[in-house]
Amino acid sequence: MLFDTHVHLNADQFEDDAEEVIKRAREKGVEHMVVVGFDEKTINKALKLIETYDFLYAAVGWHPVDAVDLTDDYLAWIEELSDHPKVVAIGETGLDYYWDKSPKDIQQEAFRKQIRLAKKLNMPLIIHDREAHEDIVDILKEENAEEAGGIMHCFQGDVKMAKQCLEMNFYISFGGPVTFKNAKLPKEVAKEVPLNRLLVETDAPFLAPHPYRGKRNEPSYVKLVAEKIAELKEVEFEEVANQTTENAKKLFGIS
């Protein structure tokens, strides 16, 4: 029993074989998935998917890379979509200083707006953080984001940052990088995060775990992430699978 808390089945890379990809995930024990929409196109595709498959859910938000395009109308649309019974989170939102396609001040304002929206709606956030650790933590604190809580998606920070995020009511989620042979930091963090505050994801089609690194990722590979975490924490795979699934259901309000 596994829960992929962050997948982009709405990406163009799955245009031709999404049904087969979903079938493979189910065969590997993936019970639920959250399809993340981060702009108009991907949000609409996520909504179609969750209306087709009863075990799929959606998150709706605006990616920091495209923060320049987040209008008040789009923000109102996201708020409207939150009423959908299978929309379970706001995001992904956050900061991305690697691509830097939107100015930092515009990214930060879009991030703050979505935090405030999540608090207003009493919904969890899904946080994207790339090369922006300090500003992410500062803004979460300044906006009292603990009132919403949520997920630090594909966590890339250190143990200190993880503890700060845990204190602010966020779960720490790991994807493919925790399986990479040379990735010491995520392994250190995975050992330290309590199992009842930990989630697993793929971020498919991106960041495929070892031994598929460099290839298209897919949700069936979330099992490899859970297996690596079980190895790092020296517990049985079933314990990680069951606990992370229960964590996700609790966070998203899924019975």
Pairing of strands 87-96, 150-152: unpaired
Position 21, amino acid: V
pLDDT tens-digit profile of 181-206?
A: 999 999 999 999 999 999 999 999 99
Nearest to 233 by CA among 213, 140, 241: 241
pLDDT at 100: 75
Provide the pLDDT confidence category of residue 242 given band limits of 50, 70 and 90. very high
C-alpha angle 233-145-205 in degrees, rounded to nearest 5 = 55
Q: Tell me which H or E stretch contains 128.
A: strand 125-130
Residue 114 — φ and ψ, nearest 5°?
A: -75, -30
Six-digit token string for 53: 């498959």
Measure the CA–CA gap between 178 and 189, rounded to whole angstroms: 9
pLDDT tens-digit profile of 43-85?
A: 999 999 999 999 999 999 999 999 999 999 999 999 999 999 9
pLDDT at 243: 98
Q: Tell me which H or E stretch contains 60.
A: strand 56-60
pLDDT at 174: 98
pLDDT tens-digit profile of 79-131?
A: 999 999 999 999 999 999 998 789 999 999 999 999 999 999 999 999 999 99
254 class by beta-carbon count within 10 Å (0-12 exposed, 13-18 middle, 19+ buried): middle
Averaged confidence pLDDT in the chain = 97
Nearest to 224 by CA among 203, 243, 201: 201
Which residues are documented as binding site for a divalent metal cation? 6, 8, 92, 128, 153, 203
Q: Does residue 33 carry a pLDDT above 90?
A: yes
Sign of torsion over alpha carbons 174, 42, 57, 136: positive
> Which residue segments constitute the domains of the chain, with CATH numbers given?
2-252 (3.20.20.140)
Measure the CA–CA gap between 85 and 81, rounded to whole angstroms: 9
pLDDT tens-digit profile of 138-161?
A: 999 999 999 999 999 999 999 999
pLDDT tens-digit profile of 157-177?
A: 999 999 999 999 999 999 999
Which residues are documented as binding site? 6, 8, 92, 128, 153, 203
Q: Does residue 244 carry a pLDDT above 80?
A: yes
Six-digit token string for 157: 């920070």
